[in-house]
Structure 1
Amino acid sequence: MQTSRTKFGEQTPPAIFPNMMGLFGLGLAWRQAERAFALPQAFSQVVLGAVTLLFLFGFVAYLRKVSRRPGVLVDDLRVLPGRAGIAAMTLSLYLLAASLVPVNAEIAKLVLLMGLLIHLIVVVLVLRVLFTGPAEQRQVTPVWHLVFVGFIIAPLSAIPLGYQTASTNILFTTGAVAVAIWGISLWQLISRIPPAPLRPLLAIHLAPACLLGTVAAMSAQMTVAYVAVAMAVLILLALLTGARFLTQAGFSPLWGAFTFPIAAFANLMFAMDSAAGGTTFALIGILALVAASAIIPVIAVKVFQAWAKGQLAVKTNAARA
């Protein structure tokens, strides 16, 4: 993905990775749907295989950018789209690990550990950027969920790999952080309406509730799971009610923030169906999956087209190596 004036990876925009998160989540939701309805696990394998190849291409391209000038990582972390994108890149490694568990548990374990290591490095660098940069950069944003609560995605592969105790600790620790971010964000939203171009980021608030519920269901922490489901439904209803408000500025690369929360909600419903039984969760899961299948690829294709044309880096202020 380059222009004639740009060497491979020289200005790879981190904004590609939220969409890859959404596509990974979509593939995992299809895997759960196939299990829930006893269908052949074929379509989900195709989706996850294709997304894995796409992610690896983008990951290598970004690593190439960092290898050319390591300081470019910090430069990208200084801008909101870059911070969200780099966080999404690390979280995509967790999703890749979850995709690989049924295929090869040992490789999935290595990818999970690599994701944890890179995520910890990103958290340290983000904290450095926040505390050494302008005061306005320290304002809490929905992107904080990706950076500081994103560890909650690790148990999706850690639990089936046998790391139950660590996963439970992650569940309650990230849950507390998510509640703090939700509370501060609600106060900020009441105090000041965010500018229209940044409003799509509000959709990120849905993802932690869905992931906390999914991990709780996988861990048989059903009280926590039901609380998370209630929170996810409330946030989803608020987002649907304010859809025109969220999209007022028109399409932008930040619409990638709509992709992975939708997929996360579908995964939550199927996880609850598996843990609690009944048909309600499965039916809601199918409806969410249909919506996710219609929305996520459209947004992802538009963002990837901008990447291919060399426009995405400019639109998101991506640093150049």
Structure 2
Amino acid sequence: MTETIETDSAEPKLKHFPVPFFAVVMGIMGLTLALHAGAEAYPVLAGASQVIMWAGIAIFTVIAVFYFAKYFKYPAAVQAEWNHPVRLAFFPAISISMLLMATALLAHAPEAARGLWVIGAALQGVLTVAVISGWISHRSFEVGQLTPAWFIPAVGNVVAPIAGARLGYIEISWLFFSTGVIFWVILLTLVFNRLIFHNPIPGKLYPTLVILIAPPAVAFSAYVNLTGQVDPFARILLNAGYLFAILILVQVPKLAKLPFALPWWALSFPVAALSIASFSFARMTGSAAHEMIGLVILVVLIAIMAGLVYRTCLAILRNEICVPE
């Protein structure tokens, strides 16, 4: 009798294992790349970058195994997530995680990075078309269902050129970059319309507001990798990232009052992306101010990651994750 109860209680956990878990990997790999970017100015960070990179790859593997198990055991639950207006946007977090891992692996295992990038880029392309097709399908979405999480598919496209340009895939990287920037502009307009003229974002999803920082910050890194220079457009992208970071900073008191939930991981990758962009700008222009900005943001990122890991582990122990909504 006891065994039956344990089996029955274990199955729903797998059934409710959410696709936003892949955002955890995005945050970890973002921290890896931020430490790597900072290591050029502060070599002591290099060792930590490698350790966190391998930890991130291991965590991605575990999450992928669980999610594929969910797909085979509970395909209807995966379909329900695909039809969910918010969770639909998190599916590209799978391919984005792969692209970020490929970027991190470039310095350590170039051929493995190439293979992973090709798979991740192909999956990102498929998911971008599928998600956008889902958005413009016959089913209607409510304005209240739109959140900054919808930026995730667009962000994935501007992640691809960061490693793609260095691997020699120049034209396909420009295709990804163009797609990402175009949909960033479209979604930015829609999201601000929703934020200004409609009801506030629900508390559980309010941390996704931080995702506003990611598209311009990642686009800056992609653009300078494609062009090899910091021109006026690159400066616009970086400063747009700083502008959104300031807007988010004003929201910190409200964020601090919210209870923890998995969407809190939305804080990690955008902050990492802004740190990476700052370090890259400093390296390419010799700006000591931007190097210091990158370091300050990196310290904030480390504090955020420590808090997120602690609260996630606590939530798992309290059975607050992988439960029905």
Deviations 1:171-218 (A, max 9, x none): 233212212211221222110232333221111111001101111222
Give 1:129 shift. 4.0
Deviation string, structure 1 residues 81-118 (Cα, Å, up to 9, x no partner):
53344232221111111111112222111111211232
Work out whether 1:199 is the aligned partner of 2:206: yes
Match of 1:230 among 230, 239, 244: 239
Paired residues, number: 314
Shift of 1:150: 1.6
Match of 1:104 in 2: 109
CA contact 2:206–2:255 (8 Å) conserved in 1: yes
Aligned residue number for residue 47 of structure 1: 52
Contact 2:216/2:241, CA 8 A, preserved across alignment: yes
Structure 1, residues 23-65: CA drift from partner, whole Å, max 9, x if none? 1100111111112234473111011111111111111211121
RMSD: 2.4
**1:210 has 2:217 as partner:** yes
Work out whether 1:143 is the aligned partner of 2:135: no
Identity %: 24
Question: Are the equivalent residues in 2 in contact too, given 1:112–1:157 (CA < 8 A)?
Answer: yes
Aligned pair partner of 1:68 in 53, 70, 73:
73
Partner residue in 1 for 2:308: 299
Worse-matched range after superposition: 212-221 or 128-137: 128-137
* 1:243 Cα deviation from its structure 2 partner: 1.5
One-letter amino acid matched to 2:206: R
Taking a change above 3 Å as real, the CA distance of residues 187 and 137 of structure 1, as seen in their structure-2 partners, is closer
Contact 1:200–1:255 (8 Å) recurs in 2? yes
Assess if the C-alpha contact under 8 Å between 1:256 and 1:300 holds in 2: no
TM-score of the pair, normalised by structure 2: 0.87
Q: TM-score of the superposition, structure 1-length normalised?
A: 0.88
Taking the aligned partners of 1:127 and 1:218, their CA distance within structure 2 comes to 26
Q: 1:307 to 1:118 in 2, by over 3 A?
A: farther
Q: Which amino acid aligns with 1:63?
A: F
Equivalent positions of 1:126-275 (< 5 A) are 126-130=131-135, 131-136=137-142, 140-192=146-198, 193-219=200-226, 220-222=228-230, 223-275=232-284
**1:167–1:118: structure 2 CA closer, same or farther, 3 Å change rule?**
closer
CA 1:149–1:292: 2 relative to 1, 3 Å = closer
Task: Report the CA distance between 1:121 and its aligned residue.
Answer: 3.3
Query: Post-superposition shift, 1:67?
Result: 2.4
Query: Following the alignment from structure 1 to structure 2, what is the Cα–Cα distance between the partners of residues 132 and 138?
Result: 18
Matched, 1:33 2:42: no
Q: What CA distance in whole angstroms lies between the structure 2 residues aligned with 1:201 and 1:57? A: 24
User: Which region of structure 1 is more displaced relative to structure 2, 189-198 or 277-286?
Assistant: 189-198
Tell me how far 1:274 sits from its aligned partner: 2.1
Residues 71 and 148 of structure 1, relative CA distance in 2, 3 Å threshold: farther
Give the aligned residue type for 2:211.
I
Matched, 1:6 2:13: no
CA 1:86–1:310 in 2, change beyond 3 Å: closer, same or farther?
farther
Q: Any unmatched runs of 5+ in structure 2?
A: 1-5
CA distance in 2, matches of 1:61, 1:298: 24
* 3-state SS in 2 of match to 1:42: helix
Counterpart CA distance in 2 for 1:137 and 1:184 is 9
Residues 229 and 270 from structure 1, CA distance in 2 versus in 1: closer, same or farther, beyond 3 angstroms? Answer: same
Q: Looking at both structures, which has the greater relative contact order when contacts are Cα pairs under 8 Å and sequence separation is at least 6?
A: 1
Aligned pair in 2 of structure 1 residues 92, 207: CA closer, same or farther (>3 Å)? same
Equivalent residue letter for 2:115: L
SS in 2 for 1:115: helix
Q: Secondary structure at the match of 2:127?
A: helix
Change (3 A) 1:198 1:9: closer
Q: Is the Cα contact below 8 Å between 1:218 and 1:271 reproduced in 2?
A: no
The verdict on how the C-alpha distance between 1:230 and 1:237 changes in structure 2, with shifts beyond 3 A counting, is same
For the 8 Å contact 1:14–1:81, the answer to whether it is kept is no
- On the 8 A contact 1:269/1:282 being kept in 2, the answer is yes
